Structures are given as C-alpha cells and as structure tokens.
Amino acid sequence: MELKTARLTVLIDPTKKLAFEELCRTQDMTPSQVVRRLIRDYMEQQEPPAAARRPAARKPAPARRSR
C-alpha cells in the first residue's frame, strides 16, 4: 500500500450511495477499499500489453577513460 494518500471526491446519487455502502458491508469491505480496487483494476486493463510497450529511453553510459 502507498505511504501517502490523496482524496478523490465523487458525486453519486444518494440512493446508489446507500446501496453501494450496504453491498460493501455485506462483503466486509469499506467503500474506499472497493473503489481503490476498481481503480487499480481499471488502470491495469488500460495498460498496453508488456510486449507492445516501448522500453524507456536509456541514457548511454559515460565513456570509460583508458589509463
């Protein structure tokens, strides 16, 4: 888990909020835990497959001096 956190404010219909909170309670999870999982899963789905990703540009190593 990350050491620092940031707040995300989401506007939702009050009826849906209550239903969501109750569903979370039935699964013994907090709404925050569920939202973090949803965000993590969504981000993983949006990443291109490893084979399609370009490797990060690397700086060339400094030239060695010969003695």
pLDDT tens per residue, range 13-66: 999 999 999 999 999 999 999 999 999 999 999 987 766 666 666 666 667 676
Angle formed at CA 20 by CA 16 and CA 25, multiple of 5 degrees: 150
Between the two ends of the chain, the Cα-to-Cα distance in Å is 49
Q: 39 — phi, psi (to 5°)?
A: -65, -45
The pLDDT of residue 48: 76
Answer for the pair 1, 8: CB distance below 8 angstroms, yes or no.
no
